[in-house]
């Protein structure tokens, strides 16, 4: 199997997707990007192409559940492999709208899978989540820990993993590398690319950043009665740049062995909500006001990833820590108080 060179990136305008595009362009890949801009903006590509110093091959606004539209992209381009980021990722919203999450995340993945198969494309890097473990297992949690998702977002990821695994068992031509993220955070160190959230951020780091810049009055800390060192929930925050480097490495390993292979992707350092508040305050030199609120439905007390398998097999080693994430996220927020909203038009015609 030849090394892939043309990658179709779903959700390529999103937070992790856009940073992955820079990483892949920097390493010579040709990119075909599809995104429905439900939680992103095409303006991200002005930044992506500026950082990479070269254009994305093609950019399509479409919902991957629109199979005819997706098939037309595969008809037009010779895709070697797919990097699949597209999907909704808010735990709290998934609790309010489970049907929407199963439709978007599972329906989108099955539509993509069918279209890939129809076009003879059988190499996939899939963005899953450590959220599939739920409350189960040790800290840090390893890949062999049984999945026990506690919310529809996590369940949608787990369902996709199961259907991908079953297809790989039945069809030897497939290779699926499934990366279970902990909590990607931070931004590109240039300050040009970051987490440009539509509406009120659900995730902790972008919300804290908006408090620091003065767009939000204070942070609500969802729960201070968890069995953790300070009572607030613990997560394993991993720099988005380390995250996308792992994705680029995955492309180098698609030819290692067919079938589905699952890897945790995290830093392995558990940090509480108040740890993040303190680190962000230091990075931004801003006071971060907060109030304690009730626990958020669907949340778990602690998730920390054991990513030693990916290090052992691929040689991936994260090099950035929470202070780097806060520094870079603050630089992006400081330079882009309203995200990409006010930026020059795309340079490409
Ligand atoms: C982290 C902690 C909140 C906001 C994320 C992504 C998901 C997946 C897993 C990648 C929790 C608390 C948050 C706020 C708060 N990652 N919090 N006040 O829920 O772990 O899920 O990581 O695929 O896509 O969503 O991340 O940042 O929402 O929450 O107290 O205003 O911060 O309760 O304990 P979560 P999060």
Atom of ligand 1 nearest to the CA of 89: 24
**Strand pairing partners for 177?**
125, 261
Q: How many CB atoms lie within 10 A of CB 32?
A: 22
| pLDDT one-digit tens code per residue, 44-64 | 999 999 999 998 999 999 999
**Ligand 1 within 6 A of CB of 228:** no
Q: What does the alpha-carbon distance between residue 189 and residue 339 come to, in Å, rounded to a whole number?
A: 15
Structure token digits, residue 33:
């990007």
User: The tokens 């290090």 sit on which residue?
Assistant: 311
**How remote is the CA of residue 266 from the centroid of ligand 1, in Å?**
14
* All structural domains of the chain with their residue ranges: 6-335
The answer to whether 60 is a known catalytic residue is: no
Ranges of residues in the chain with a pLDDT under 50 are: 343-349
Q: Distance between CA atoms of 109 and 164, rounded to whole angstroms?
A: 9
Q: Which two tokens stand for residue 323?
A: 């202070």
Please tell me if the CB atom of residue 185 comes closer than 6 angstroms to any atom of ligand 1. Answer: no
For tokens 């009730």, name the residue: 294
Q: What pLDDT is stored for residue 238 in this prediction?
A: 98
Cα–Cα dist 225/232, whole Å? 7
pLDDT for position 344 = 39
- Rounded distance between C-alpha atoms, residue 238 and residue 306, angstroms: 12
Residues across the chain:
349
HEC string of 115-146 equals: HHHHCCCCEEEEEEEHHHHCCCCCCCECCCCC
* Fold assignment, 6-335: Rossmann fold (3.40.50)
> Count of CB atoms within 10 A of residue 58's CB?
15
Residue located via tokens 């996308």: 244
**pLDDT score, position 342:** 59
Distance 184 CA to ligand 1 centre (A): 10
Question: Which pLDDT value is given to residue 345?
Answer: 41
Enter the DSSP assignment of 298.
T
pLDDT for the residue numbered 136: 74
Ligand 1 pocket residue status of 226, Cβ below 6 Å:
no
């Amino acid at each position: 199997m030849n090394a892939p060179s043309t990658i179709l990136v779903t959700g390529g305008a999103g937070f992790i997707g856009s940073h992955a595009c820079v990483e892949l362009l920097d390493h010579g890949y040709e990119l075909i990007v599809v995104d429905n801009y439900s939680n992103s903006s095409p303006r991200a590509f002005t930044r992506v192409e500026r950082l990479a110093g070269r254009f994305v091959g093609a950019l399509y606004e479409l919902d991957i559940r629109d199979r005819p539209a997706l098939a037309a992209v595969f008809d037009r381009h010779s895709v070697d492999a797919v990097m699949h980021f597209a999907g909704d990722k808010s735990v709290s919203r998934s609790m309010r709208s489970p049907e929407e999450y199963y439709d978007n995340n599972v329906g989108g993945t099955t539509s993509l899978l069918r279209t890939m198969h129809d076009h003879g494309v059988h190499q996939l890097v899939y963005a899953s989540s450590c959220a599939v473990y739920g409350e189960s297992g040790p800290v840090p949690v390893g890949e062999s820990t049984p999945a026990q998702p506690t919310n529809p977002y996590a369940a949608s990821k787990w369902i996709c993993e199961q259907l991908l695994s079953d297809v790989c068992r039945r069809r030897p031509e497939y290779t699926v590398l499934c990366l279970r993220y902990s909590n990607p955070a931070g931004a590109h160190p240039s300050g040009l690319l970051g987490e440009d959230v539509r509406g009120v951020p659900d995730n902790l780091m972008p919300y804290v950043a908006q408090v620091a810049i003065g767009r939000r009055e204070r942070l609500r800390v969802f729960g201070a009665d968890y069995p953790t060192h300070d009572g607030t929930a613990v997560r394993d925050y991993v720099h988005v740049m380390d995250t996308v480097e792992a994705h680029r490495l995955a492309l180098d390993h698609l030819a290692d062995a067919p079938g589905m292979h699952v890897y945790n992707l995290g830093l392995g350092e558990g940090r509480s909500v108040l740890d993040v508040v303190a680190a962000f305050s230091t990075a931004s030199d801003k006071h971060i006001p907060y109030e304690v609120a009730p626990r958020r439905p669907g949340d778990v007390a602690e998730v920390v990833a054991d990513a030693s398998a990916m290090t052992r097999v691929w040689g991936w080693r994260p090099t950035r820590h929470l202070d780097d994430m806060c520094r870079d996220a603050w630089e992006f927020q400081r330079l882009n108080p309203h995200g990409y909203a006010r930026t020059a038009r795309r340079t490409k015609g």
